[in-house]
Amino acid sequence: SQKIEQNSEALNIQEGKTATLTCNYTNYSPAYLQWYRQDPGRGPVFLLLIRENEKEKRKERLKVTFDTTLKQSLFHITASQPADSATYLCALDPSKNNAGNMLTFGGGTRLMVKP
């Protein structure tokens, strides 16, 4: 069966360090993978999208890698700040068009950045 796995344990890091979150998937061949941020009681907020033919994508302090051989994406936040504390979700869509159809979300990893 298809699975998307994110570390369910909270990740605690010190301010200024780099946070690395992992998303592993099985039995998918996604056209692209997305990362979202979710704060408690609020809707997910889009962060980055990476396509199957891209190895890496950057946006300000964020970096995403996508290894379709390992079936894994890594999400990095450099120079982390307490304001980065949130739950980070990865999401897959196996469709080959860009219409963002039936996104399947992982369970998310909660990041806590301590001052």
Partner 1 sequence: EPEVTQTPSHQVTQMGQEVILRCVPISNHLYFYWYRQILGQKVEFLVSFYNNEISEKSEIFDDQFSVERPDGSNFTLKIRSTKLEDSAMYFCASSKDTGELFFGEGSRLTVL
110 with 44: CB under 8 angstroms? no
End-to-end CA distance of the chain: 41
Q: Is 64 in the site for partner 1 (CB under 8 A)?
A: no
Q: Choose one: 12-20, 21-29, 63-71, 100-108; the region binding partner 1 (CB under 8 A).
A: 100-108
Q: Is 104 in the site for partner 1 (CB under 8 A)?
A: yes
Q: Is 53 in the site for partner 1 (CB under 8 A)?
A: no
Selected binder of partner 1 within 1, 14, 83, 99 (CB under 8 A): 99
Q: Is 105 in the site for partner 1 (CB under 8 A)?
A: yes
Total chain residues near partner 1 (CB under 8 A): 25
Which CB, 18 or 98, lies closer to partner 1? 98
Ranges assigned E (strand) in the chain: 3-6, 11-14, 19-26, 32-38, 45-51, 56-59, 62-67, 72-77, 86-93, 104-105, 109-114
Please tell me the number of Cα atoms within 13 Å of 74 on its side-chain side.
Answer: 12
Nearest Cα to Cα of residue 75 among 3, 7, 2, 1: 7
Q: Is 27 in the site for partner 1 (CB under 8 A)?
A: no
Which residues here bind partner 1, judged by CB under 8 A? 32, 34, 38, 41-46, 49, 89, 91, 93, 97-108
